[in-house]
């Protein structure tokens, strides 16, 4: 199995974790509607999961350079404190399938930002075709009906919040790809969520009681920890735009989990859109010519 195929599999498994995350989050909300409390417990258990990965991979180099510290702080603030928080808030207003899909429509922003910053991260015709199919898939799943699609009626305020989170996540992916590519995935995840945990712990400690009220808060942290590590492992092996495109397989899994666990129904247009994801994955997974 070549490096690219390993990267593709890592991101696909990460996408399954991304699809499970909002389902557990929704179940956690049913027992405790405080999304900041859930975000704190989540961040703590992601940090613990990252530490376990560091131990398992026998990479104990937790010491970081001064320039890396500022980058990790950026990822923690923008990717976790800002993006993750508004994503979790949006989950209280929109369905799992919409949240997962919009939340992983990063290719557009990755391409735009990457064109300016990652000048050596060139895309092949297969990359463009794969991303095109996935963006079309995203539009079909988000609009839900032919009428909404033709009118480009894309969603609600909750959908816009997730879109804002998506742009923020895209910038952190670029930062990791350009500046932290050689850092252990567990170490990146550890510091990203450790810093976020400290901020959230201080805020929650000053405003409310800190406690674990249900098992789903813990499960959210575990799946996010695994997903984030796999995501960074994939990012090390394949191009940033490919990673973001492959993440769009998450709606397929989210649709299944949302239907089976939360009874969220799908329209025929959404089903067609999800099927297009497989075409996109096929093109993104094709080996480049040498």
- Would you state the pLDDT for residue 60? 65
> Does the structure show a pLDDT above 60 at 173?
yes
In the structure encoding, which two tokens stand for residue 238, read together? 């394949």
Residue 137's pLDDT is 73
Tens digits of per-residue pLDDT, 241-269? 667 667 666 777 777 777 778 777 777 87
Two tokens at 243?
């990673």
Mean pLDDT across 24-46? 87
**Predicted confidence (pLDDT) per residue in 124-170, tens digit:** 777 778 778 877 776 776 677 777 777 666 667 888 888 899 889 88
* 162: nearest Cα among 245, 222, 97: 97
What is the predicted pLDDT for the residue at 211?
A: 84
The domain locations on the chain are 9-122+156-240
- Residue 290: pLDDT band (50, 70, 90) is very low
pLDDT exceeds 60 at position 171: yes
Task: Tell me what pLDDT residue 119 has.
Answer: 60
pLDDT in tens, 73-88: 999 999 999 998 898 8
pLDDT value at position 289?
Answer: 44
Mean pLDDT of 51-80: 87
**pTM (two decimals):** 0.76
Predicted local confidence at residue 163, as pLDDT: 86
Residue 182 confidence (pLDDT) = 83
| pLDDT of the residue at 123 | 66
Distance spanning both ends of the chain, measured CA to CA = 17
Cα–Cα nearest to 185, from 56, 81, 65, 40: 56
Quote the CA–CA distance of 123 and 35 in Å, as a whole number.
38
| Residue 240 predicted with pLDDT over 90 | no
pLDDT value, residue 109: 74
Task: Write the secondary structure of the chain as one string of H (helix), E (strand) and C (coil).
Answer: CCHHHHHHHHHHHHHHHHHHHHHHHHHHHHHCCCHHHHHHHHHHHHHHHHHHHHHHCCCCCCCCCHHHHHHHHHHHHHHHHHHHHHHHHHHCCCCHHHHHHHHCCCHHHHHHHHHHHCCCCCCCHHHHHHHHHHHHHHHHHHHCCHHHHHCCCCCCHHHHHHHHHHHHHHHHHHHHHHHCCCCCHHHHHHHHHHHHHHHHHHHHHHHCCCCCCCHHHHHHHHHHHHHHHHHHHHHHHCCHHHHHHHHHHHHHHHHHHHHHHHCCCCCHHHHHHHHHHHHHHHHHHCCCCC
pLDDT one-digit tens code per residue, 85-102: 898 888 888 877 777 767
Which tokens belong to 14? 């990460």
Average pLDDT of the residues of the chain: 80
């Amino acid at each position: 199995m070549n490096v690219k195929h390993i990267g593709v599999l890592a991101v696909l498994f990460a996408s399954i974790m991304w699809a499970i995350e909002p389902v557990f989050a929704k179940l956690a909300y049913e027992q405790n509607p405080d999304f900041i409390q859930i975000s704190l417990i989540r961040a703590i258990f992601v940090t613990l999961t990252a530490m376990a990965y560091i131990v398992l991979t026998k990479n104990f180099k937790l010491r970081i350079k001064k320039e890396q510290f500022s980058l990790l702080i950026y990822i923690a603030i923008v990717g976790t404190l800002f993006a993750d928080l508004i994503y979790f808030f949006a989950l209280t207003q929109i369905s799992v399938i919409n949240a997962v899909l919009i939340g992983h429509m990063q290719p557009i922003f990755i391409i735009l930002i990457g064109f300016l910053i990652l000048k050596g991260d060139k895309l092949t015709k297969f990359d463009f075709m794969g991303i095109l199919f996935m963006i079309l898939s995203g539009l079909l799943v988000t609009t839900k009906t032919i009428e909404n699609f033709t009118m480009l009626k894309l969603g609600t305020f909750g959908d816009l919040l997730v879109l804002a989170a998506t742009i923020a996540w895209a910038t952190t992916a670029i930062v990791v790809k350009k500046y932290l590519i050689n850092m252990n995935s567990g170490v990146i995840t550890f510091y990203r969520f450790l810093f976020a945990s400290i901020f959230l712990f201080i805020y929650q400690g000053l405003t409310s009681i800190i406690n674990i009220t249900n098992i789903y808060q813990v499960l959210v942290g575990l799946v996010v920890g695994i997903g984030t590590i796999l995501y960074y492992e994939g990012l090390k092996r394949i191009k940033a735009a490919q990673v973001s495109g492959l993440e769009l397989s998450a709606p397929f899994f989210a649709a299944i989990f949302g239907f089976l666990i939360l009874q969220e129904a799908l329209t025929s247009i959404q089903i067609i859109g999800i099927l297009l994801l497989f075409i996109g994955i096929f093109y993104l997974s094709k080996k480049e010519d040498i």
